[in-house]
């Protein structure tokens, strides 16, 4: 039986959260181990962006997006420690999101953290932030950099 | 923090199933080998720190700045 609770968030006001929608990070996020439970909220109807809203701290939310939307060749190998921790098999649907950072007032400065993607087992709703030590997966991938250098 | 002194080819065992071996010492660099179960992640500390810093920066992102 799903229960719905109301969460008073700083960005979105009061939102409804169904227990089925909750994504659980048993280790929290990297460096933020106390942020374990989130709900994923649409940004706008037609937008690829979502917000990972924290249930542990209503003032905290992360802007996330499917990394494939901006980084065409992004297909890192899933480390064994992650497949094992999240019980991922070929049959399990997996969601991968990358956390976005936008400097205030500067949308063109948006960067994606390709080194620390969020991997979600879509069935169990358990998740982990993964560490990738790969030069092609930078911590700050500047999405609009190519466009800027072409225009210059 | 537990502090141990090892020589090349000596090891440290952590918990059950994690072993750190000193493979080589050359000048300022130490080469370590790490044996750990598949479900244990092992990474250089710097990358953790970078991701942590970026996570913290990401929390300041505002909805009005999201590209459309």
Looking at the structure of chain B, the number of domains it has is: 1
Sheet holding B18-26, edge to edge: B11-14, B18-26, B29-35
**Residue B19 in domain:** yes
**Residue B24 in domain:** yes
Which range (A79-83, A93-97, A121-125, B31-35) has the least confidence?
A79-83
Question: E strands along chain A, which residues?
Answer: 4-9, 13-18, 22-25, 37-42, 50-54, 61-65, 94-101, 111-112, 118-121, 126-129, 141-142
Q: What is the pLDDT of residues A17-57, one digit of tens each?
A: 776 689 999 999 999 999 999 999 888 888 999 999 999 99
- List CB contacts (< 8 A) between A102 and chain B: 61-62, 65-66
Question: Which H or E run contains A81?
Answer: helix A80-85
Q: Does A139 touch chain B (CB under 8 A)?
A: yes
**Residue B64 in domain:** no
* Residue A101 backbone dihedrals phi, psi, to 5 degrees: -120, 125
**Residue B15 in domain:** yes
Residue A77: pLDDT band by 50, 70, 90 thresholds? Answer: confident
Q: Does A133 touch chain B (CB under 8 A)?
A: yes
| Structure tokens given for A44 | 């706008």
Which residue of chain B has the CA closest to A79?
Answer: B41
Rounded-to-integer distance, Cα A10 and Cα B42, Å: 36
Q: Does A61 touch chain B (CB under 8 A)?
A: yes
Rounded-to-integer distance, Cα A30 and Cα A35, Å: 9
Inter-chain CB proximity B54 and A139 less than 8 Å: yes
Check residue B40 and give its pLDDT. 85
**Residue B33 in domain:** yes
Residue A152: pLDDT band by 50, 70, 90 thresholds? Answer: very low
Inter-chain CB proximity B38 and A81 less than 8 Å: yes
**Residue B5 in domain:** no
Nearest CA-CA distance, residue A4 and chain B, Å: 24
Domain extent at residue B53: 11-58
**Residue B47 in domain:** yes
**Residue B54 in domain:** yes
Residues constituting chain B:
68
Q: Pick the residue of B38, B44, B51, B53 with the most A CBs within 10 A to test the interface with A by mutation.
A: B51
Q: What is the pLDDT of residues B5-62, one digit of tens each?
A: 999 999 999 998 999 999 999 999 999 999 999 888 888 999 999 999 999 999 999 9
Q: What is the CATH number of domain A4-151?
A: 2.30.290.10
């Amino acid at each position: 039986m799903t229960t719905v609770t109301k969460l008073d968030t700083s960005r979105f006001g009061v939102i409804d959260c169904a227990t089925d929608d909750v994504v659980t990070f048993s280790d929290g996020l990297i460096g933020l181990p106390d942020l374990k439970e989130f709900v994923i909220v649409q940004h706008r109807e037609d937008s690829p962006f979502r917000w990972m809203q924290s249930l542990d701290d209503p003032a905290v939310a992360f802007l996330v997006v499917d990394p494939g939307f901006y980084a065409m060749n992004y297909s890192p190998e899933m480390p064994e420690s992650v497949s094992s921790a999240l019980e991922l098999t070929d049959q399990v649907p997996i969601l991968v999101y990358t956390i976005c950072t936008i400097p205030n007032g500067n949308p063109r400065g948006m960067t994606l953290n390709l080194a620390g993607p969020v991997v979600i087992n879509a069935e169990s709703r358990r998740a982990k932030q993964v560490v990738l030590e790969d030069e092609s997966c930078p911590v700050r991938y500047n999405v609009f950099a190519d466009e800027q250098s072409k225009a210059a | 923090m537990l502090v141990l002194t090892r020589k090349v080819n000596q090891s440290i065992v952590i918990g059950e199933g994690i072993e750190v071996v000193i493979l080589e010492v050359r000048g300022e660099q130490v080469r370590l080998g790490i044996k750990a179960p598949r479900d244990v992640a092992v990474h250089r500390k710097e990358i953790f720190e970078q991701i942590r810093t970026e996570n913290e920066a990401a929390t300041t992102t505002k909805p009005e700045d999201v590209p459309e």
